[in-house]
Structure formats: structure tokens, C-alpha cells
Structure 1
């Protein structure tokens, strides 16, 4: 009887032991993990580089407005010539100075390009904006992925504590059964049954530890934390007061801030600007020109004059690509189709985001209802445990009844913590869908 009372007293201790972390690691909050990923994540760095590259493209496009300056220098050996009649008779040698030189400098300043230069700059700016949206999209994906790892670590840590408590309780039951077996009041089959239960629990514990190891590695690697870091989730995350909010508010947030929608809108703007560039090909190009040339000898005279001829010029150059009238039609049609596709993809993205927000909002509210149910389940499980413990102490209940009541209480408490975690998960999922994570 004393052993049974000892068992009844140890079971509550096992239940309460789940609230104590047996690992001396420092607690890391989810926000701290986000900050670490911002600077250290290998998956995010390519997005930052692409954004910087797109910003440099703006400078390249603006450089198109600068004048074109070309300089050339040539030195040559000129062989002797000859002259003949038109019938190729009366052949006569024509000595020519053998050393030839040429020096020229040309400057062209675009004045009007049909809007091509302006459109090229605006296109580069749109691509830079799209690169920034792509970075935001990748950042949100990484943060939501980290959130999943973080909350899963919390869940499996909680499950490990439950399993460890069950193992502790099962060992005490085995000790009691072996004592009863020696007294002849228990069967060997009961002992075998609990030994099998112990084996299954220990196997579950091994699997949980392996899962936690995988999750920790995934989180540490994705966040760019140092090797060997062991993530201990912040238990206060369960005590946070999260806003409910009506669906239309979440929908509005998503329409304004969703990176996927911003990317889709940028694609439409980029394609429209590409159309404008194609249309600019049909317009003339005007530029200011200036040049200076120094050539020698003067070969246009017979006999050649062994002197340098230098001249300069300034003026206005006008060019028009006549073939663009019939060649650009196909390119323009292609660009218009690409713009239409981008618009259709934007509409599809609107629909997908709207559906995602609606589903996540429903699950978010459902998680609160689940929490209420689990709180009631914990209350009932605790009441059942107290009743069973009292009856067990009075020899009015079997040891199996006691263990079942303890398992029910442990499971209810685990489900309660998981229900609170689910609220946090769906809240962050809504933040992810609306681009606010």
C-alpha cells in the first residue's frame, strides 16, 4: 500500500516535470532568428545581390544619355600606284609617299531618340523595384519557413517531455508490478505488457530526438546561425495576445502588401514599358555631332600631295530606320501578348492571395475554438485524474486505471500547448499571406 501511495505521489511530479527545461541552452526568440537570417542566411544573400545588380542597371541606362566619343589613330605603309587609260593601256607608274597616318575624333550627343533612352531608364528602375519585391518575397518565405521549424521544435520538445513523463511513470508502475509479482498478487503477463509499453515509448523518444535534431539543423542552417547552436524556443510565445481581426482587414492588407502581388504588378509595368521601347523604334533619332580629322598624305590628288589634311565639323545628325515600319510590328505584337499574359497572371495572383487569406483566416479562428475545447479537455482530464488517484489510494481502482488517467491528463495538456502553438502558426501564416511577417 505504501508503494502504491508513493506511485500516486510521483505521477503528479512527472506531470509537472514537463514545464522544466532540462537543457542549459539560452532561449532564442523568433524575432532574434529573423534578425540573424536577415544578415546571415545563405538563401537570402543572392536576392540582395540581385537587388544591387538591378540598381546598377539604372546607372548603366542613364549613361545612355551621355555623348558618344570615338577616337581613332592609324599608321600605314602605302605602296606605289599606277595610272592607265580607260582601256588599260598607257601604263605609267605613280609614286606615292609610303608613310600614311590618320587621326580622327568624333563626338555625338543624342538629343532625341523617340523616348528610347527615357524608357530604358524607366525600365531599369522598374526592374530594380521588381528585384526589391523579389527580395521581400524571398525574405517572407524564409521567415515563414523558420517559423515552421521554430514552432515544430516547440511541439516536439513538448512531446518529448510528455514521453519522458510517461516513461518515468511506466517505470514506477513496473517497479510496483514486480513487487506485487514477488508477493504473488500480479501476473507475469502484466509485467510483459508494461515492458512492451516501455520499449515503444523509448523508441518514440529516439524518433522525437532525431526529429528535433533535424529541425534544429534546418533552422540553424537556414537562419545562418553558428554550427552547434541548439534552439530553445521562448515559452512566453504562448502567452502572447494576438489580434483577431476581421477577414476584410486581412484581405486589404494582402492586396496592399503581398510581395507576390507586387511582383505581378511590376511584371505588368515592365512589359508595358517594353512595348513603349519597341514603339520608339519607329521614331527618328536626332543628335548633335562634332568631329576633327587629320589624314596624310592627300591621295585624292594626282600626283599625291605629301602633306596632312585636317578639317573639323559640327552639325545635326538625323537618322531614321525605315525598316522599323514593317519589322517592329511583329515585336510589338509579341510585347502586347506578353503584357496581356502579365495582366492575366496578376489577376490569378489576386485570386490565389484572396483564397489563401480566407482559408488561413478560417483556420486561425478555428484554432481559437480548438483552444477552448482543449482547455475544457484539460479540466476534465485533471478532474478524472484526481478522482482516479483518490480511488486508487483506496484500492478501488486498478493500476491500469491510474496509468490511463495519467496518460489522458498528459495528452490533454500536450494538446493544449499544441492548440496554442497552432494559433501562433496560423497568425504567422496570415502575416505571411499579407506580406507582413
Structure 2
């Protein structure tokens, strides 16, 4: 008797502790909830991503390099100013004898302007401009690739958030059902139809479901805070996903169609092609060293004194002409640079082929996984209906004393697992669909 009373007191204390643990904090301020669509998620993520900011800065730098390359076609202009003190000259009339010191001015001034306009450099300037333009396109494609990867990272968190919300919904429904079942069991126990053991096991099941619900709600807060930081929102804001997204159509096209789209749009393949063009342009730059250079130059100089007569007056001189030069050493020094550039082209073409191979593999895997996710949803929808029917039958049998509580709890667990799996499968359909779009370069 004493043992039974001690057990009952411990049980009551445990129930009271759990009830205090699971009671919501109604006095605390409830966090604000914001429903976020997938388009808004992507927009905020792109606008506030530090990675995207770095990509935009790199794109701006590439644009400035392109402008600098074009400025090489402009003339070079130098302006100079010099002045100084002239020492006393000594003039020897005969050999090193009969030294005389003529009167000369003490100060000198020189003002000059030099102009140089390149006319022909073997195509170096033109190919340098093309190189800068290609590098700017590569920077732009890298930004596009980063944008797609950021979208997938955001979508991964977004889908996880949907799973957690759906999990809390399913758990709450299961808790409500377990609460009604516990009331039925207590009524049956008072009538002497079931034992205290059935009531205890039902209470334990209900406690586990409540703890799982609390954990899911905490996970919602954690994932929402992670998204808030990335999206530039208030960290206390709870984000709710748009559930309509999970029921939108996710059509599947043919594998070959996806491959064609990937060949045309995939950013990494575009980058590989631009790198190949860049390597071919390096060959042209290397070959330009075999050609002569021609430039137009002009100058104007205003100086005093006149150096021939040492007269303290200003003299102005100007000149204009053409300069032609040819680097003979390029005939034996530049040959290896051209060969190096040719091998670089072969290497870039090989990298391009590797990307194309990876595209076919990735597209096939993405298509298969997406189709698999669609089929899983159809199978699990049937499984949920079967689990609901099974639970209904076992519940009625238990109320009529035709089955034991273990069968009823097993049926409840099977139904809960089926609902959770269906939720995860619906989210997986959306994730695999966007993953397929990313593989095709359409995200």
C-alpha cells in the first residue's frame, strides 16, 4: 500500500511538471509572423546577400578594366616644367689655357608638351579590349551562377520551414486525437473495462507528442532567425512559407529537352565557353608581338636661355612625325608564348567538354529524382488514406474490447509517420523541381 501511494505521488508530480513545461507563455509577447512567397524570398535574398554584393563588386571591377583597355586607344599627353640655376661656364681660348668667363644668364626655364598617338600595334590594343570584354562577361556569368546557388540555399531553408510547420499541424491534430482517446480510456477505466496500464501508456504517448510539438516550434524559430539574418529582416520575425507552392504543378519535360536548355543557359558552361574564347584571344595577342608598331608623335618646347648663344631669351620649338619600330627579338622569343597560348586553348576546350559531360549526368539525375519525388507523393497519398482507415478500424475495435491498446498506439504511430512522410514528399517535389531548373540554367 505504501509503495502504491509513493508511486501515485511520483506520477502526479511528473504530470504536474510536464504540464508546467508544456504550458505556453501567454504573458510573453507573441512574435510577429510574416507569410513569405517564394518570389519574395528570392528577391530579398538576392538584395541582401553578401555573396551577391561581392559578385556585383567584381562585375564592376571588370567593367572598369574594360574602360581602361579602351582608353589605350587615346593619345598619350605629357606636360613638363623644369627650371634651375646655371653655373658659370668657362671657355678656354687655346687648349686648356686662356680661360675666359663670358657673361651668361643665371636661370633656365623649360616648358614642354609631348603628344603620342598609337596608330598600329599589331592588334594588341584591339585584342586587349576584347580580353577585357570577355573578362567582364565572365564576371557577369559568375554573378548569375552565384544568384542561382543562393536561391537553392534559400529554398532549402524554405522547404525545411514548410516541413516544420506541417509537422506542428500534424502533431497538434494527433495530440487532439490522443486527448480524446485518453478521455475515452479514462471513462472505460471508471467502468472497469480497461486497466490503469492503458491509461498510463496513453498519457506517455500524449506527453511524447507534446514534447515533439515543442521541439518543432523551437526549430521553426531557429530556421526563421537564420532566414531573417540572410534576408535582412527583423530577427524576431517568424517566417511562414506559402503553402500554395507545395500544390503547384511541377511539369516534367523530356530529358533531351532539359539537356538542350542546359547547353544554352547553364552559367558554368557559358563561363567555360568564354574562357575558351579568352584563350583564343591570347593567341592573337601573342602573335601581335611579331608585327611592327607605328605611332604619331608631336612636341612643343618653350625654353630659355638659347643654348647655342646663351642669350637670355625664350625660344619655342615644335616637331611632329611618325615612329616605326620592330622588335627583332620577338622572332626567337615569342614562339614559345604562341605555343603556350595554343595549349591553353586545348586545355580550355577540354574543360568545356567536361562541363558538358557533367551537365548530362546532372540533368539525368535531377530528372530521375524529380520523377521519383512525384511518384512518392502519389504512393504516400494512398498510404495516408490506408493509415487513416486502419486507425479508424483499430480504434473502433479497441472501444469494443476486440483489440489491445498496443495495436491502437501502433496504428496511431503508423498514421503519424505516413502523414509526415507525405509532407516531406510534397516538399521534396518542389525542391527537386527547382534543382532541375538550376541544372538547366533556368533558375
C-alpha contact 2:46 2:150 (8 A) present in aligned 1: no
Aligned to 1:37: 45
Aligned to 1:421: 427
Q: Under a length normalisation based on structure 1, what TM-score does the superposition of the two structures give?
A: 0.86
Aligned to 2:54: 46
Aligned to 2:378: 372
Quick check: 1:64 aligned with 2:72? yes
C-alpha contact 1:298 1:308 (8 A) present in aligned 2: yes
How has the CA–CA distance of structure 1 residues 385 and 198 changed in structure 2, closer, same or farther, with 3 Å as cutoff?
closer
How has the CA–CA distance of structure 1 residues 88 and 340 changed in structure 2, closer, same or farther, with 3 Å as cutoff?
farther
Aligned to 2:407: 401
How has the CA–CA distance of structure 1 residues 49 and 29 changed in structure 2, closer, same or farther, with 3 Å as cutoff?
same
Query: What is the number of equivalent residue pairs in this alignment?
Result: 414
Quick check: 1:258 aligned with 2:243? no
Aligned to 1:328: 334
* Cα drift, residue 182 of structure 1: 6.8
C-alpha contact 1:27 1:234 (8 A) present in aligned 2: yes
Distance 1:87 1:214 in 2: 99
Aligned to 1:436: 442
Distance 2:97 2:345 in 1: 68
Alignment of 1:300-379 (within 5 A): 300-301=308-309, 304-379=310-385
Alignment of 1:5-404 (within 5 A): 25-84=33-92, 88=96, 91-173=99-181, 190=198, 193-194=201-202, 196-198=204-206, 200-301=208-309, 304-404=310-410
Aligned to 1:9: none
C-alpha contact 1:268 1:343 (8 A) present in aligned 2: yes
Match of 2:51, SS state, is coil
Match of 1:151, SS state, is helix
* Cα drift, residue 404 of structure 1: 2.5
C-alpha contact 2:246 2:427 (8 A) present in aligned 1: yes
How has the CA–CA distance of structure 1 residues 60 and 240 changed in structure 2, closer, same or farther, with 3 Å as cutoff?
same
How has the CA–CA distance of structure 1 residues 128 and 91 changed in structure 2, closer, same or farther, with 3 Å as cutoff?
same
Match of 1:231, SS state, is strand
Distance 2:308 2:209 in 1: 103
C-alpha contact 1:166 1:407 (8 A) present in aligned 2: no
Match of 1:43, SS state, is helix
C-alpha contact 2:259 2:360 (8 A) present in aligned 1: yes
Match of 1:387, SS state, is helix
**Which stretch of the first structure deviates more once superposed, 366-375 or 201-210?**
201-210
Structure 2 unmatched ranges of 5 or more: 1-29
Match of 1:81, SS state, is coil
Match of 1:105, SS state, is strand
Match of 1:314, SS state, is strand
Distance 1:70 1:112 in 2: 20
How has the CA–CA distance of structure 1 residues 285 and 363 changed in structure 2, closer, same or farther, with 3 Å as cutoff?
same
Structure 1 unmatched ranges of 5 or more: 1-21
Distance 1:86 1:64 in 2: 55
* Cα drift, residue 76 of structure 1: 1.1
How has the CA–CA distance of structure 1 residues 182 and 73 changed in structure 2, closer, same or farther, with 3 Å as cutoff?
same
Match of 1:109, SS state, is strand
Q: Under a length normalisation based on structure 2, what TM-score does the superposition of the two structures give?
A: 0.85
* Cα drift, residue 299 of structure 1: 2.4
* Cα drift, residue 407 of structure 1: 2.6
Match of 2:324, SS state, is strand
